[in-house]
Amino acid sequence: MEPRFNLFGTETGGKLAKRFAGLGQAVHQSPLPALTAELVSLRASQLNGCGFCLDMHVKEAVAAGEDPLRLHLVAGWRETTVFTEAEQAALAFAEEGTVLTREGVSDKTWDDVRKHFDDEQVAALVCLVGLINAANRMAVITRQKGGSYEVGAMAQVSA
């Protein structure tokens, strides 16, 4: 499959990309741990089948010092011993916020998130899950491919 449209190559898309990237930067400037944010973005992107975002978040996580082994295990995080309780809560939140049911995020997952993250971090986590799902959808709809992302490129878009 070839990309079907260069969304950000248009004037409108370029304006939206800059604002969208700025929202992402606000999340990354929040007190939510950067590696937790990358794990959450990676998990949502796996569930949504977004190769472009998988590429970006794996590369950004490695550049930020994440252990590649943990990245390989994100898809099966429940069956591993390498994620903290806080990370497990965030990954469950990412899954439930991505594959929505009528309930949305379960009370158990919400309680686990609240146990490990303060109000500012929860605000960032909620916004992050919304943003990564929107990014996944735009990239999947326009068939953006993974493999060519360069670390820091998204931060440059918002500058």
pLDDT tens-digit map of 38-90: 999 999 999 999 999 999 999 999 999 999 999 999 999 999 999 999 999 99
pTM: 0.93
d(CA 69, CA 74): 9
**Residues 138, 141: Cα–Cα separation, whole Å:** 5
CATH of 12-158, one of 3.40.50.1820, 3.40.190.10, 1.10.150.120, 1.20.1290.10: 1.20.1290.10
Distance, in Å, from the CA atom of 49 to the CA atom of 139, rounded to the nearest integer, reads: 10
Cα–Cα–Cα angle for 121, 122, 125, rounded to 5 degrees: 85
Region of 59 (left: φ > 0; alpha: ψ -120 to 50; beta: rest) is alpha
C-alpha–C-alpha distance, residues 54 and 132, integer Å: 11
